[in-house]
A and B are shown apart, each in its own frame.
Chain A
Amino acid sequence: MRIVCPFCGERELGEFTYLGDAKPARPAAGASEDDVFDYVYLRDNIAGAMSEHWYHAGGCRAWLKVTRNTLTHEISSVEPAAGVGAAKVGA
């Protein structure tokens, strides 16, 4: 697997570390116990195209949002994750 980093170009997998599914959003401070349990423990564990967060630790150290098929490892899109990096490139 190689990931085309929008800042560094095509790089080998070993440069990246994985966070997981990009869908779960941290519940607000006053959220219910159920919401927190759901966020911390439960997973969709998608078989197919999944949007996920990767960190380019061995390169630009940017967080990326990668859409990858978990059945084939095929990557269909890579973009900067929301935040300062994304703002810099106008994403």
Chain B
Amino acid sequence: MKYSIFSLARAAFSGHKTWQRTWRDASPKDHYDVVIIGGGGHGLATAWFLAGEYGIRNVAVLEKGWIGSGNAGRNTTIIRSNYGLPGNTGFYELSMKLWERMEQDLNYNTMVSQRGVINLYHSDAQRDAYARRGNTMRINGIDAALLDLSAVKKMMPFLNFDNARFPVQGGLLQRRGGTARHDAVVWGYAHAASALGVDIIQNCEVSGFVRDANGKVTGVETSRGKISAGKVGMAVAGSSSRVAAMAGLRLPIESHVLQAFVSEAIKPLIPNVMTFGAGHFYVSQSDKGGLVFGGDIDGYNSYAQRGNMSVMEDVCEGGMALMPMIGRVRLLRQWGGIMDMSMDGSPIIDKTPVDGLYLNAGWCYGGFKATPGSGLVFAHLLARDELHKEAARFRLDRFRRGAVIDEKGVGAQPNLH
């Protein structure tokens, strides 16, 4: 079904009773050219690019629960490409450009809102670091503007500018950054991929790999039977180690819990996405009015999808330092997602040492903004057996070679004891 102003009008006149399911809930066939494990944003985007861009349409996406039930539905919906290190800068900008045309590409309203992302700085040293990052972005053709205090005051007059310990001095702004509706991104990719013939198979948990005599992966064992495959791609961030272990692989990844929060709805307040540079706190306001915010990972290994009070307190303290008036706002919801924390804080998109098995993992807590870019480069790898030029540094063997991409200087945990 194609969505347009006319389809909306037609449905409106028939009392919205004529809408059809936007994607097809498939049952598994015996064989696919490519099987993708994981029906989150990355897995579905990969399937859509495989079918649309690379002409491989005999594709299945296997999801153990329902699509978008993992981290795709558990994030703070921020999109941006303000990265400074080679490898990251080009990749995230590729992704940003795909966000900008996503709704037209998918024929689906993913509510991409380029409301701007501003990182506040609170010291001279931090200003210099942000200026450097902004310059790196501009050299690479990405928009960036370094704002001084008066520009920040004009843009966000509600901030606490009397904080003696961490005074707001200015910020680095990427105007093209913003937010998107996370669930709609999942449904949009499912809608577009399904229309191209991709089978999206829910409640289908992979329990093992089928290997031939040479050790090549030739299929997967699932809770809905055996499925043979030309190639198998893993896009199961949060559970990458567990799935890779079925193929005898150990990864440079720890699974950690990251919490996010939504307040009760308030009148429009926050015009953009902003981050507190003296702690770790990022916030935006949803269209429904809730403040959507988060901070650091809890800091211990977890698969439990829930966090603890001490980190919740820490995140809220960051928010209070920036805008004390939110102390009157009540917290509505809180949740935890399981992050693939790689050892350098950057993703891994590569072939594995096991023939026929491909890996898309290690997104730490930056996976959502990467969704379209990740789909494109992973589809490229699966289709052509070569690395996409914008993802050529996300190799699995970079840790052994010492070619880590340490944008933030920490991996799973900073060891600052």
Contact = CB atoms under 8 A, between A and B. Distances in A.
Interface of A: 1, 12-14, 17-21, 37, 40-47, 50, 52, 55, 57, 68, 70-73
Contact of B304 (A19, A42, A71): A71
B313 A14 contact: yes
B76 interface: no
B255 A13 contact: no
7 contacts: A12-B310, A41-B399, A47-B241, A52-B301, A55-B417, A57-B417, A70-B303
B299 A18 contact: yes
Interface size class of B (residues with CB under 8 A): 20 to 34
Contacts of A57: 417
Interface string B388-417: 000000000001100000000000110101
Given A17-B299, A21-B301, A45-B254, A1 B417 contact: no
| B interface SS class | mixed
Given A13-B308, A44-B241, A71-B304, 9 more contacts: A18-B299, A18-B413, A20-B413, A41-B343, A41-B400, A43-B241, A47-B241, A72-B304, A73-B306
B263 to A, nearest CB: 22
B250 interface: yes
- Chain A CB count within 10 A is highest, among B300, B304, B343, for B300
Interface in B267-320: 299-304, 306, 308-310, 313-314
Contact of B310 (A13, A20, A37, A50): A13
Given A20-B254, A43-B251, A47-B242, A13 B400 contact: no
A18 B300 contact: yes
A16 B241 CA distance: 26
A57 to B, nearest CB: 7
Contacts of B301: 20-21, 45-46, 50, 52, 70
Nearest to A55: B417
Given A47-B242, A57-B417, A70 B255 contact: yes
